[in-house]
Amino acid sequence: MTYDQIELPDVSALRIGIIGGTGPQGRGLAYRFARAGLRVVLGSRSTERGAQAAEELNALPGVQQQAEGGDNTFACQADVVVIAVPWEGHESTVAELAPHLTGGKIVVDCVNPLGFDKQGPYSLPVAEGSAAEQAATLLPEARVCAAFHHVSAALLTDPEIAKIDLDVLVLGDDRDAALQVQAIAEKVDGMRGVFAGRLRNAGQVEALTANLIAINKRYKVHAGVRVTDL
């Protein structure tokens, strides 16, 4: 089957919740989803901060009041929930929200376990294999996918940039959930959602972010990923 023959589901009616929606990556994804016509729910540890972030997002070009905000528990009420928190708080945040992420809800983990020293970024070992697998362990009643690891927050949040030119690698053990995540990615102008294997392969995808950061630093760019011959 070729890429063009894959029929993606209609996700236009879905609400996308962002855990960590007040951080750079969370805000950026929320902006692009809202600009694509999807409804977004920005979550934060603080209800006030989440609401304020949504208000600011609604004021940006092309959003058209698509955003609402509150605390992270409120964001968990969305149809699809994206985990976009710093690695340091990943385990505790996901564990705390586990009671609200049940019933087969699709959860998208885009967290990169990275460390930084004088030599630059490097991948950190994760006992479960990856951040996404850690989330899957903590959320046994959710359908966890890994995606959106290689998207520059600087590009996502820039209203002057119309298209985000990259492929989003989507990993997951539930094929229907992965297809929905692919479809969400493809709502964003310029993005393609590409299925890249089962969740056990998420570790190397997360780690690749360290290489992209090194490329960005060396060449003064915001590098992404494109899969050729597809």
Asked if pLDDT for residue 116 goes beyond 90, the answer is yes
pLDDT of residue 84: 98
Helix (H, G, I), strand (E, B) or coil at 94: helix
Q: Are 108 and 146 in contact (CB under 8 A)?
A: yes
Q: Residue 3 is which amino acid?
A: Y
What is the average pLDDT across 124-137?
Answer: 98
pLDDT of residue 82: 98
Classify each residue of 154-182 as buried b or exposed e, where b means 16 or more C-beta atoms within 10 Å of its C-beta. ebbbeeebeebebbbbbbbebeebbbbbb
Q: What gap in Å lies between CA 206 and CA 187, rounded to an integer? A: 22
pLDDT of residue 128: 98
What is the average pLDDT across 196-205?
Answer: 98
pLDDT tens, residue by residue, 37-67:
999 999 999 999 999 999 999 999 889 888 9
pLDDT of residue 64: 84
pLDDT tens, residue by residue, 153-165:
999 999 999 999 9
pLDDT of residue 65: 87
